[in-house]
Amino acid sequence: MAATRPTLVRIVIAVAFLLCVLVIIATVRSATSTSTVPSPSAGTGTVGTPPEDDVEVRVRNAGTVAFDDVRVTFSTDPEVNYGALAPGATSAYRVPPVRAYSIAVVHVMVEGRQLSFAPVDYVGEQTLRPGHYTYALKAAGEDRLDLTFTVDP
């Protein structure tokens, strides 16, 4: 009996180890599938009528020069293309494919030049709650954009 007790302890330890490994594998697979395939509630980045529990963001050209192309990266890839915006024009609302904040990485093409707004990081920023929001963009120099965030009614 004494010889089987150490064997039994080794078996129990091995089974516990395997269970831990399986839990880790399941967690990694779950996290990977969630981050690569957006859930329906995360939106698709397309124009449309989303459920009331979605975040919707539009872009307004608050400047005096036409934007040939507006691309927004909310917190991580993929970017959302809002297209061209004339001075004073506002895009349709889009549902971000990932978490959105009051700031985002924005690239605008103006007459062959790229203007950008790029936050240093999102430290201290709160994820936007469901609702309607606008990023008002204005050219600020040769290669920079100013971004003003508003909560829409």
Instruction: Identify whether the C-beta of residue 108 lies closer than 8 Å to the C-beta of residue 77.
Output: no
Q: What is the pLDDT of residue 39?
A: 29
Domain ranges of the chain: 1-37, 43-152
Q: What is the pLDDT of residue 23?
A: 56
pLDDT single digits (tens) 99-147:
999 999 999 999 999 999 999 988 999 999 999 999 999 998 888 899 9
Question: pTM here?
Answer: 0.66
Nearest to 141 by CA among 106, 110, 103: 110
Q: Is the model's pLDDT at 34 over the cut of 90?
A: no
3-state SS class at 132: strand
- Does domain 43-152 fall under CATH 3.40.50.920? My reply is no
pLDDT single digits (tens) 42-101:
333 444 444 568 999 999 999 999 999 999 999 888 999 999 999 999 999 999 999 999
Q: What is the largest CA-CA distance in the chain?
A: 89
Distance CA 71, CA 62 (A): 16
